[in-house]
């Protein structure tokens, strides 16, 4: 780590950058930050030429690996035409073609695509479409949203209101709007000591009670289907998803799926809602939509939602929302190529083997470990919950930063992972190979032992 260029970059980083979700005092005290320069398949390569397996897909977005030739080519080709033009008052070829392809693979009933630039904005758009929809329909009391406790929907003020997290958003609380919360089965199971079946029944019963009280005021249910990612990889069953969706439908409210993290194959299906065979009124997409190449997001809507906004221009019923780079042609063209890879390389079919390997590897290397309190997996999304005493469910004191130290120990073994507190997250690109997945699991287990045996 004594390369001169590395030191110059590190010092400039320390002098000028402010990193997201980062306690900068700790960052500045670290004189060996990882500085990425290149990518190669499922690997990150730092400025010193060291290679790290991208164990969390560059924050859950990379899908087919880095420098994927078909994606690089799509981007270069589009660059030879135009980098950006606006969606306000005109259209563009990639934005149109991508919309057509997204609708072709989306859950039934979704017919319209509204673009934005990040997952948080995709949720913000859903929130605003839903709110305006009810106002336009004359059901003006429907202004309340229902979400799962500890759900995460992004970091704009609107999406942070929906997905309020005490750790992330408490200083923002004075300006956030109130949201109704349903405790998911995970909380009943872990905070209240129930078995999985009882936990699910209790969560559904509690949700029913809440929905009955507010049924005429509900604008929509917003949910991360199958897996609450940032909460700490809290999974729920397809039955729970079906039940909760049914309750929302019975209350006459909208169903909004946030597939920003779970979409594009992560759970073993193209979209996580496919596990339950349920379709939403609005669906939020981001992260993997471009294969992890460029910032692009989309909110898909049904024709009924879309129709409510129609009218004469002077009636001002339009959806007045947008950003400068909405529907960016470079991002849309790489997203289109991403969908092409899913189809041509039969990605969803191919990853089933990796999912089975993941399950077996987790069982073999982590089940029964004295510091592993829980292992949660849906497809290639995994959370391994680390505790001081797994049997008694005693967590490590947070000041020990156990999860972060395990991730740091993994880096020495050539694996880049980022935990959520003391939950180790494994979420590799869908293109991970047998040997790479074996390395990811093995290095994570060794790192866990190294840190927890002290
Ligand atoms: N929704 C979910 C479920 C997420 O996991 C995330 C990010 O992790 C977001 C929304 C926000 O996406 P972005 O970071 O692109 O704004």
CA angle 298, 304, 309 (to 5 degrees): 75
Q: Of ligand 1's atoms, which has the minimum distance to the CA of residue 228? A: 3
Task: Measure 11 CA to ligand 1 centroid, in angstroms.
Answer: 30
Backbone angles phi, psi at 330, to 5 degrees: -65, -50
> CA neighbours within 13 Å on the CB side: how many for 235?
21
- Region 205-233: what's the mean pLDDT? 97
Amino acid 193: pLDDT: 86
Give the per-residue pLDDT at 454. Answer: 63
Distance between Cα 20 and ligand 1 center (Å): 13
Separation of CA 190 from chain center: 23
- Map residue 256 onto helix, strand or coil: strand
Q: What pLDDT, on the 0 to 100 scale, is given for residue 150?
A: 94
In the reported structure, the alpha carbon of residue 154 is separated from the centroid of ligand 1 by a whole-number distance in angstroms of 5
Q: Of 298, 332, 292, 285, which is closest to residue 431 (Cα–Cα)?
A: 292
Q: Are 403 and 422 in contact (CB under 8 A)?
A: yes
CATH of domain 34-64+347-452: 3.90.1150.10
Atom of ligand 1 nearest to the CA of 287: 15
DSSP character string of 392-415:
TTBPPPGGG-HHHHHHHHHHHTTE
- What value does the mean pLDDT take over residues 275-303? 98
Residue from 20, 119, 147, 225 to probe ligand 1 pocket by mutation (most atoms less than 8 Å from CB): 119
Give residue 272 CA to ligand 1 midpoint distance, Å.
Answer: 15
3-state secondary structure of 267: coil
Ligand 1 centroid to residue 267 C-alpha, Å:
16
Span 321-344, pLDDT tens digits: 999 999 999 999 999 999 999 999
How far is Cα of residue 26 from the mean position of the Cα atoms in its chain? 26
Closest residue to atom 10 of ligand 1, CA basis: 153
For residue 2, what pLDDT is reported?
59
Second CATH level (architecture) for the domain 72-344: 3-Layer(aba) Sandwich (3.40)
Nearest ligand 1 atom to alpha carbon 229: 5
Alpha-carbon span 135 to 287, nearest angstrom = 31
Q: Domain residues of the chain, as ranges?
A: 34-64+347-452, 72-344
pLDDT (mean) for 51-80: 98
d(CA 288, CA 295): 9
Average pLDDT over residues 56-73: 98
What pLDDT is attached to residue 164? 86
Query: Residue range 64-78: average pLDDT?
Result: 98
* Axis crossing angle, helix 69-79 with helix 329-344, rounded to the nearest 10: 150
Index of the ligand 1 atom closest to the CA of residue 297: 15
Pocket of ligand 1 (CB under 6 A): 118-120, 123, 152-154, 224, 229-230, 258, 260-261, 286-287
Note whether 56 and 233 are within 8 A (CB). no
What does the radius of gyration of the chain's CA atoms come to, in whole angstroms? 22
How far apart are alpha carbons 410 and 303 in whole angstroms?
48
Identify whether the C-beta of residue 239 lies closer than 8 Å to the C-beta of residue 185: no
What pLDDT, on a 0 to 100 scale, did the predictor assign at position 381? 98
Beta strand 415-416 with 218-223 is unpaired
Residue 1: pLDDT over 70? no
Q: What would the mean pLDDT of 31-60 be, rounded to a whole number?
A: 98
Question: Tens of pLDDT along 88-129?
Answer: 999 999 999 999 999 999 999 999 999 999 999 999 999 999
Question: Which residue bears the tokens 């939403």?
Answer: 280
**Nearest alpha-carbon partner for 203 in 235, 163, 164:** 235
The number of the ligand 1 atom at minimal distance from the alpha carbon of 224 is: 3
**Distance (Å, rounded) from C-alpha 331 to C-alpha 34?**
27
- The conformation of residue 225, written as its DSSP 8-state character, comes to S
Res. 175: pLDDT tops 80: yes
256 versus 189: the higher-pLDDT residue is 256
Q: What pLDDT shows up at residue 191? A: 82
Q: How confident is the model at residue 189 (pLDDT cuts 50, 70, 90)?
A: confident
Residue of 120, 126, 227, 296 to test ligand 1 pocket, by largest number of atoms within 8 Å of CB: 120
CA distances from 117 to 87, 193, 287, 298, 446 (A): 13, 41, 10, 8, 38
> Given a cut of 90, is residue 307 above it in pLDDT?
yes
What's the rounded Cα separation, in Å, for the pair 17 and 366? 37
E strand or H helix at 425: strand 423-426
Closest to 150 (Cα-Cα) out of 113, 188, 118: 188
Instruction: Give residue 219 CA to ligand 1 midpoint distance, Å.
Output: 21
> Which of ligand 1's atoms lies nearest the C-alpha of 123?
10
What are the tokens at 105?
A: 């693979």
Structure tokens at 241: 């998803």
Helix axes 196-214, 238-250, angle to 10 degrees: 10
Cα 30 → chain centroid: 28
Which of 56, 151, 287 to probe ligand 1 with, by most ligand atoms within 8 A of CB? 287
In the chain the first and final C-alpha atoms are separated, in Å, by 26
What's the pLDDT at 316? 96
Mean pLDDT computed over 185-197: 89
Q: What would the pLDDT profile of 10-20 be if each residue is shown by its tens digit?
A: 999 999 999 99
Cα(260) to ligand 1 centroid in Å equals 6
In the numeric block, which tokens belong to residue 129? 């479409």
Give Cα separations from 129 to 134, 256, 348, 391, 405 (angstroms): 9, 11, 31, 46, 42
Pocket test for ligand 1, best of 260, 284, 285 (most atoms within 8 A of CB): 260
Residue 275 scores a pLDDT above 80: yes
- What integer pLDDT is reported at residue 167 of this predicted model? 87
Q: Which atom of ligand 1 is nearest to the CA of 230?
A: 5
């Amino acid at each position: 780590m004594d390369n001169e260029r590395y030191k110059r970059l590190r010092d400039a980083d320390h002098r000028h950058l402010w990193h997201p979700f980062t306690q900068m005092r700790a960052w500045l005290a670290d004189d060996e930050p990882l500085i990425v320069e290149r990518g190669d398949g499922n690997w990150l390569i730092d400025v010193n030429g060291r290679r790290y397996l991208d164990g969390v897909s560059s924050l859950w977005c990379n899908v087919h690996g880095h420098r994927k030739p078909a994606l690089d080519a799509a981007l270069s080709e589009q660059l030879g035409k135009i980098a950006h033009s606006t969606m306000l008052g005109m259209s563009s070829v990639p934005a149109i073609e991508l919309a057509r392809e997204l609708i072709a693979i989306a859950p039934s009933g979704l017919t319209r695509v509204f673009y934005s630039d990040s997952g948080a904005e995709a949720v913000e758009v859903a929130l605003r479409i839903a709110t305006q929809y009810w106002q336009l329909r004359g059901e003006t009391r429907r202004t309340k949203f229902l979400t799962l406790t500890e759900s995460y929907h992004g970091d704009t003020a609107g999406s942070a209101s929906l997905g309020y997290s005490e750790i992330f958003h408490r200083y923002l609380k004075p300006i956030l709007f109130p949201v109704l919360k349903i405790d998911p089965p995970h909380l009943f199971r872990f905070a209240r000591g129930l078995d999985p079946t009882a936990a699910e029944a209790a969560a559904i019963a509690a949700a029913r009670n809440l929905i009955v009280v507010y049924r005429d005021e509900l604008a929509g249910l917003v949910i991360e289907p199958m897996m609450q990612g940032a909460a700490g990889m809290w999974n729920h069953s397809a039955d729970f998803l079906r039940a909760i969706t049914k309750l929302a439908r019975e209350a006459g409210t909208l169903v909004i799926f946030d597939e920003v993290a779970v979409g594009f194959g992560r759970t073993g299906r193209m979209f996580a809602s496919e596990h339950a065979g349920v379709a939403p009124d609005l669906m939020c997409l981001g992260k993997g939509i471009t294969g992890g190449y460029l910032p692009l997001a989309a909110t898909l809507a049904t024709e009924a939602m879309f129709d409510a906004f129609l009218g004469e221009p002077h009636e001002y019923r339009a959806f007045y929302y947008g950003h400068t780079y909405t529907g960016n042609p470079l991002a849309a063209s790489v997203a289109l190529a991403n969908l092409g890879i899913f189809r041509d390389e039969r990605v969803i079919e191919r990853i089933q083997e990796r999912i089975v390997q993941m399950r077996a590897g987790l069982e073999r290397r982590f089940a029964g470990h004295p510091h592993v309190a829980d292992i949660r997996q849906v497809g290639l999304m995994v959370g391994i919950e680390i505790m001081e005493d797994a049997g008694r469910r005693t967590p490590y004191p947070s000041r020990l930063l156990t999860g972060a130290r395990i991730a740091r120990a993994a880096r020495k073994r050539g694996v880049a992972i980022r935990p959520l507190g003391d939950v180790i997250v494994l979420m590799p690109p869908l293109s991970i190979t047998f040997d790479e997945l074996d390395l990811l699991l093995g290095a994570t287990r060794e790192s866990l032992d190294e840190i927890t045996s002290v």
